[in-house]
């Protein structure tokens, strides 16, 4: 199913989208990857959604990516004797490990790790930042705070600690069980929450044992600070603007988003922009103009994918939300300014033979009548390098690995086809010509660029490029190999 756009769409599944008909309609409307949110739904529900996606994939004959989003540790206050209390600016409020019910002066914070990391002056944000506390004094079992933003505090509200790196692992006991479950199911991507340091990613990778690619969610200031090191050990990135916008001043988020997208692209690793993209469509069939502009901005910046959360998981208009994203993406990508921005932001670093091959493929395609760049890839590396170039012509990725094809469904511009194993380059050229015609990317009278690595089946050996006709009779007549 060829998309008439390059940016990919990720749709979260949930109560509003957990049956075959709805999920298929979401895919046909434009969803390339489905997100399974491990914060909601038990394993039986997750398995049922996974099985439906794979059935749709088989019925339609095209690969679909699945991303399992791990919950991560959740930091919450305890409970109050009255259910809630009103805090006013200037009040003194105590957080401690005491299990007794809270009142206007104190409440339990059952996370000793937080007290270990706190220092005077650090902020604690409660209920998505609606209440802000500043630490005046702290010890191993409590902290005395000044209320700097007041409001209603109630049972088990979430706590953010933006100013310190917490000695907490990104994976809770629940996450480890969920990780093993979804890896056994066969998901393609694992989204890792609460990432603060490269070691968090490496722990998840060790547990996944190569069964899924690791995508790090950037949602904490410490992750932004350590981003280059985190990117190096990750397979992909999610700019998770929800918590990021709570823990940082909101005006800091747009430039961070732009910066992270460019770094991901330079590293040839897919990046998703997520959170509140079309949030009004949870209850409305039409988005706001600001939301449309937000989606468009992420596309202009060159992101690989844009994501829907509650809009498709629990909203009243899940299919309309995907359709809206698809329409915005098509309109943006047809704008000449989009091409100018994307090409102006193209990274010029070339350090390997593979970098040179894909850059040459893009340049040849854009200076001649080439209809598509066709790359053979076992691991997906060649395809993501071509994707990084953001060529003006379609990218056709052929791979004998169904798993690789599914993984590539997150990468900008890739049209994936599962092919037979190839032993010689001539066979690759013939298969590329046939696939380009079958996918309506070219006709028999057109030319394509074919890239591959010889010997076949060896990852990271992209070393050959050919301009070829899409008529295989001409290939056989002109190529003795």
Range scoring the smallest mean pLDDT among 120-124, 203-207, 208-212, 377-381 = 377-381
pLDDT at 480 over 50: no
Residue 399 known to be catalytic = no
pLDDT recorded at residue 463: 85
- The mean pLDDT value for 21-44 works out to 96
- Cα separation, 302 vs 342, in Å, equals 6
Class of the domain covering 84-160: mainly beta
Question: Is the omega angle on the peptide bond into residue 426 within 30 degrees of 0, that is, cis?
Answer: no
- Stronger pLDDT, 346 or 69, i.e. the higher one: 69
Per the annotation, the verdict on 275 as an active-site residue is yes
Range(s) of the chain covered by CATH 3.40.1380.20: 353-478
pTM, two decimals, is 0.94
Residue 479 pLDDT greater than 60, yes or no: no
Q: Could you report the per-residue pLDDT of 356-415, keeping only the tens digit for each? A: 999 999 999 989 999 999 999 989 999 999 999 999 999 999 999 999 999 999 999 999
The single residue of 47, 74, 76, 176 carrying the catalytic annotation is 76
Q: What is the pLDDT of residues 209-253, one digit of tens each?
A: 999 999 999 999 999 999 999 999 999 999 999 889 999 999 999
* Mean pLDDT score, 430-458: 89
- Give the model's confidence band at 424: pLDDT under 50 very low, under 70 low, under 90 confident, else very high: confident
Mean pLDDT of 40-62: 96
The architecture in CATH of the region 8-72+170-332 reads Alpha-Beta Barrel (3.20)
Span(s) in the chain for CATH 3.20.20.60:
8-72+170-332
- What is d(CA 11, CA 21) in angstroms, rounded to the nearest whole number? 15
Can you say how many angstroms the Cα of residue 321 is from the centroid of all Cα atoms in its chain? 18
pLDDT digit string, tens, across residues 281-318? 999 999 999 999 999 999 999 999 999 999 999 999 99
pLDDT at residue number 452: 86
For CA atoms 247, 249, 250, 252, the dihedral sign is negative
Confidence band for 460, pLDDT divided at 50, 70 and 90: low
- Assess whether pLDDT exceeds 60 at residue 478: no
Confidence of residue 462 (pLDDT cuts 50, 70, 90): confident
Which residue did the predictor score with more confidence, 151 or 474? 151
Per-residue model confidence (pLDDT) at position 422: 80
Fold of 353-478: Pyruvate Kinase; Chain: A, domain 1 (3.40.1380)
Task: Select which of 5, 8, 35, 106 is catalytic.
Answer: 35
392 catalytically annotated: no
**Whether residue 478 lies in the annotated active site:** no
* Options 222, 275, 404, 451, the catalytic residue: 275
Q: Are 305 and 272 in contact (CB under 8 A)?
A: yes
* Reported confidence tier of residue 347, pLDDT bands at 50, 70, 90: confident
- The mean pLDDT of the chain is 94
Q: Give residue-wise pLDDT tens across range 72-92.
A: 999 999 999 999 999 999 999
Listed in order, the ranges of the chain carrying CATH 2.40.33.10 are 84-160
């Amino acid at each position: 199913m060829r998309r008439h756009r390059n940016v990919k769409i990720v749709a979260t599944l949930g109560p509003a989208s957990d049956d075959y008909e709805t999920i298929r309609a979401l895919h046909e409307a434009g969803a390339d990857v489905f997100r399974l949110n491990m914060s909601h739904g038990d394993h039986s529900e997750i398995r049922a959604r996974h099985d439906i996606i794979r059935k749709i994939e088989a019925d339609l004959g095209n690969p679909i990516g699945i991303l399992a989003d791990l919950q991560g540790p959740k930091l919450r206050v305890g409970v109050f004797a009255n259910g809630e209390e009103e805090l006013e600016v200037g009040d003194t409020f105590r957080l401690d490990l005491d299990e007794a019910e809270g009142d206007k002066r104190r409440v339990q914070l059952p996370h000793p790790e937080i007290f270990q990391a706190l220092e005077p002056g650090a902020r604690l944000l409660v209920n998505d930042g609606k209440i802000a506390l500043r630490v005046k004094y702290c010890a191993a079992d409590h902290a005395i705070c000044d209320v700097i933003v007041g409001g209603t505090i109630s049972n088990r509200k979430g706590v953010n600690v933006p100013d310190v790196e917490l000695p907490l692992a990104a994976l809770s006991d629940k996450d480890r069980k969920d990780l093993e479950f979804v890896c056994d199911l066969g998901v393609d991507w694992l989204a890792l929450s609460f990432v603060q340091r490269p070691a968090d990613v490496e722990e998840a990778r060790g547990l996944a044992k190569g069964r899924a690619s690791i995508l790090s969610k950037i949602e904490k200031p410490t992750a932004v600070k350590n981003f280059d090191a985190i990117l190096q050990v990750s397979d992909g990135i999610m700019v998770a603007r929800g918590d990021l916008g709570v823990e940082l001043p909101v005006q800091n988020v747009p430039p961070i988003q732009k910066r992270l997208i460019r770094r991901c692209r330079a590293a040839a690793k897919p990046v998703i922009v997520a959170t509140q993209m079309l949030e009004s469509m949870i209850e409305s069939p039409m988005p706001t103009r600001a939301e449309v502009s937000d989606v468009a901005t992420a596309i202009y910046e060159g992101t690989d994918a844009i994501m829907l959360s509650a809009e498709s998981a629990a909203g009243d208009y899940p299919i309309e939300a995907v359709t809206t994203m698809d329409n915005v993406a098509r309109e943006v990508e047809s704008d000449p300014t989009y091409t100018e921005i994307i090409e102006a932001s193209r990274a010029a670093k070339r350090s390997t033979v593979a970098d040179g091959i894909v850059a040459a493929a893009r340049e040849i395609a854009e200076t001649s009548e080439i209809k598509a760049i066709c790359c053979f890839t076992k691991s997906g590396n060649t395809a993501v390098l071509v994707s990084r170039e953001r060529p003006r012509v379609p990218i056709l990725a052929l791979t004998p690995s169904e798993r690789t094809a599914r993984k590539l469904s997150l990468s900008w511009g890739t049209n994936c086809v599962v092919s037979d194993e190839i032993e010689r380059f001539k066979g690759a050229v013939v298969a590329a010509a046939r696939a380009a015609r079958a996918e309506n990317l070219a006709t028999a009278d057109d030319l394509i660029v074919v890239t591959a690595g010889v010997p076949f089946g060896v990852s990271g050996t992209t070393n050959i490029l050919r301009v070829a006709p899409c008529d295989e009779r001409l290939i056989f007549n002109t190529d003795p190999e």
